[in-house]
Amino acid sequence: MIIITKNEFSPDNSLSIKCSAPVPIIIKSEKQYNAFRYFLNNIFRFKEFRPGQKEIIKRALELKNTVGLLPTSAGKSLCYELIMFIQPAPIIIIEPIKSLIIDQFYNLSNRFLIDKVGKISGDQTLSEREEVQKKFRDGQYLALYITPERFQVSTFRNYLSEFIKARPIAYAVIDEAHCVSEWGHDFRTSYLALSKTIRRYCNHNGYIPCFYALTGTASEVVLRDILSDLEIIDQEKEAVIRNYSFDRKELDFRVVKCISSEKFYYLKSILNEVKDELKQVYKINQVSDLFNPIYKV
């Protein structure tokens, strides 16, 4: 478990995270999941795990490289958000685009009130990014959201090197992992360098972060690319955990025919029909708040 302490003598009276090398946690029975349900119920306010989540979390907790397949909105994010409270070291989450970083960050901060997370993205000023990097170096985050290109920036590498001298990183989470194959071989070569970069710059006294790749869609060819590009060559077949049912019963589809200039009007009308649910989920006062830039994707 990560212990967060407060240093009364530090200039900014900040919190720091005391951590140690991650340890394999072996789950052998259903009863053992009750410990994790505490976090599920009391922090994330979910009653039960969704199909596929337990299997993915189980392998990751054993510190085995994991590729998890779950359909969109089936709870991929929870698979890594939960374990950041369990393993005694922070995690890094690699997202493909800025909007996903912003969405995931504000989901943790606003919906679940978890404030010990950081993000580095293009919407920040240089001074804001510098502040996040300093806090990351000083061990003030449970999790840090970045894009794969951030690893190629020398200033971030310097902060990362300083961090890793004192603390390990438990997991390198690659969200939307199909981008490793579909984008890495095309126009974002930083994805292809992820494995070597992480193994080089995140090596803490011989401990290299566990690779934790998650995606909602991946063909067998893409899966092979993910395993190869992330150099997950041990136990390849066992590394892939998938939910064999991709039926999305919770989704409803509606087609509204309108001219282009009326799209925004119809969208607001539809959102107003479910405004009570939206207010509860996103902690907003009115539906128009959803069009605030922090929610745009």
The tens digit of pLDDT for each residue in 79-115 reads: 999 998 888 899 999 999 998 999 999 888 888 888 8
Give the amino acid at 157: R
The per-residue pLDDT for 39 is 86
Q: 171-175 and 3-6 as β-strands: parallel, antiparallel, unpaired? A: unpaired
Closest of 8, 177, 188, 212 to residue 91, by C-alpha: 212
- Domain spanning 3-242 has what CATH number? 3.40.50.300
Residue 24 is encoded by which pair of tokens?
A: 């394999």
* Lookup: tokens for 258: 């309108």
What residues of the chain score a pLDDT lower than 70?
Answer: 1-15, 184, 186-187, 234-237, 243-251, 281-283, 287, 290-297
**Which parts of the chain fold into alpha helices (H)?**
33-42, 53-61, 76-81, 98-106, 126-137, 154-166, 178-182, 194-201, 220-229, 236-239, 263-273, 275-282
Per-residue burial over 71-86, b = 16 or more CB atoms within 10 Å of its CB, e = otherwise: beebbbbbbbbbbbeb
Q: What letter does residue 94 receive in the DSSP assignment?
A: E
Question: How does DSSP classify residue 279?
Answer: H
- For residue 240, the model assigns a pLDDT of 83
pLDDT score at 212: 95
What is the structure's pLDDT at 71? 81
Tokens 């566990």 correspond to 210
Task: Give residue limits of the domains in the chain.
Answer: 3-242, 260-295
pLDDT of the residue at 8: 47
| Residue 44, CA distances (Å) to 47, 114, 175 in order | 9, 10, 19
Specify whether the CB–CB gap between 100 and 297 falls below 8 A: yes
Distance CA 198, CA 172 (A): 8
What six digits make up the tokens of 115? 């404030």
Q: Give pLDDT tens digits for 186-207.
A: 668 888 899 999 999 999 999 9
Rounded to 10 degrees, the C-alpha dihedral 163/130/110/289 comes to -160
